[in-house]
Amino acid sequence: MQIQLEALSVIQKEVAALIDGYYADTNAQDGIPPLNMDWPFFIKLEQGYRLVLFTAREDGELMGVNMYMLTQHPQHKGMTWAMCNTLAVATKHRGKGIGTMLVEAGMAYLKTRTDVKVVTHHFRTIYDAKPLFPKLGFDLAEHVYMKVL
């Protein structure tokens, strides 16, 4: 398996199909408005060097993605942070450590090739699984409450 940095602008349709399939096959959609990705927004971030996308592939097949948005932290002037916007592994490939490999590749890249100081990952509480982030050295820093209006 290959974990690599790829350009969203080049593989957008492939990434969209994986994310759509992930939302259709899991309960990721429960309790939130329907998925409607704003791809031009993400492409614009990428063009401004504010988005990085890691992919997991085997024999050319896209198995998973990890996408980070990079921005200045609004409460800590001068500090860049990365927020994972999407971490998704195709359902037929889940449980193989692909998510872990994608996060580890992201951390290595962000630490050595950017000025990012803080990385956040969000985890939907509807999943019937423990988040992998504590195993990878992430600390629970805050709780986020959500209400759909």
Q: Can you name the residues that pair with 87 across neighbouring β-strands? A: 66
pTM (two decimals): 0.91
Residue 74 lies in a domain: yes
Identify the pLDDT of residue 96. 95
Provide the domain limits for residue 41.
Answer: 2-136
- How many domains would you assign to the chain? 1
Pairing of strands 116-120, 80-89: parallel
Residue 143 lies in a domain: no
Other Cβ atoms closer than 10 A to 145 = 4
Q: What is the CATH number of the domain that holds 9?
A: 3.40.630.30
Q: Which of the 8 DSSP states describes residue 91?
A: G
User: What are the pLDDT tens digits along the chain (149 aa)?
Assistant: 999 999 999 999 999 999 999 888 888 888 888 899 999 999 999 999 999 999 999 999 999 999 999 999 989 999 999 999 999 999 999 999 999 999 999 999 999 999 999 999 988 777 766 788 999 999 998 888 888 88
Residue 110 lies in a domain: yes
